[in-house]
Amino acid sequence: MDNNNGSIHTKGLISIFIVMLIWGSSFSVTKFVVSELPPLTAATIRNTIACIALLPFYIVRRRKNRAALPWGKLTLMGLSGTTFYYLCFNTGMHYIPASTGAIIEGLVPVAIAVPAAFFLKEQLSAKLVAGIVLSVAGVILVGFVGNSGKADGSVLGSTLIVAAVCLWSVYTLLSRTVKDHDTLQVTAVSMMIGTVLSVPFGWMQVQQLGWPEISWKAWLGLCYCGILASAVAYFLYNKALESLPATQVGNFLNLNPVIGAIVAFTFLHESFTGLQWAGGILVLAGIWLSSQKRTTLPEK
């Protein structure tokens, strides 16, 4: 039994590491896509592609497992993790560099750990609290103080990414509460609900700006984000939450800003101001502190 639990735990760790590699690179891909497409239109197309990718797998799984699904929670997951998350994320990335967005996403573990301590009874250690403080201070320097003079709308963009972080925390905690249900069905149904609810926003933007001309490179970016960063990564993320505490998954999300910034610096040739470098160091210090091994409460 212990070996089986260890195997499940290892699979969870592998799953979340793959997710980090995919999501870390998605900042630069999204930045490229929203430079060609209006952000809400891009979000709707991306989510539609993800649903198409998941649909055949959902149909096969549903035929084998017709257990009742928690539709209320799945609707909330769809709203928080798909509809409003991508409205905030894509619009925010339209205004700020990919590296800045990646560093701000470093707040995700904080946004998960604090409510997880209250609602899921997961432990909030002194080191984690110190890491939270450093991470928040660093994000303020990177996304607001050091970024304020870079471009019009940069503060708005940073604020929208922070909002996306909070929405992702809600999605994660909801996903943790439905871990006894089939992961593929939970992922597919919540994403389909969220996509349907996001269509009006994308349609309004098309009505205002017209249908954009989409280059083949932008289509590749949309497919990468839809198939890998949404369909595959969401499934693996929810799979990891079945076997790992929400706070541990949050710690792995600390890799997101590191991978995202490296990719943006390498491929988009972005740069940081002095204050942003200082903020990035604070975020990394917070990541290191919050990731230190600590005693966790036993899970039921």
- State yes or no: pLDDT of 77 exceeds 80: yes
pLDDT digits (tens, 9 = 90+) for 118-145: 776 666 678 777 877 887 788 777 767 7
Residue 35's region, left for phi above 0, alpha for psi from -120 to 50, else beta, is alpha
pLDDT of residue 299: 38
Q: In the Cβ-directed half-sphere of 63, how many Cα atoms lie within 13 Å?
A: 5
Whole-structure pTM value:
0.84
Whether residue 247 contacts residue 116, with contact meaning beta carbons closer than 8 Å, is answered with: yes
Whether residue 118 contacts residue 70, with contact meaning beta carbons closer than 8 Å, is answered with: no
Percent of residues, the chain, with pLDDT higher than 70 = 88
Whether residue 122 contacts residue 247, with contact meaning beta carbons closer than 8 Å, is answered with: yes
Whether residue 143 contacts residue 165, with contact meaning beta carbons closer than 8 Å, is answered with: no
Residue of 267 and 199 predicted with greater confidence: 199
pLDDT of residue 2: 57
- CA 78/CA 187 separation, integer angstroms: 9
pLDDT digits (tens, 9 = 90+) for 89-103: 999 999 998 988 888
Whether residue 179 contacts residue 25, with contact meaning beta carbons closer than 8 Å, is answered with: no
Question: Looking at 29-43, 48-62, 128-142, which range is the least confident one?
Answer: 128-142
pLDDT of residue 39: 95
pLDDT of residue 256: 80
Question: Looking at 109-118, 167-176, 212-221, which range is the least confident one?
Answer: 109-118
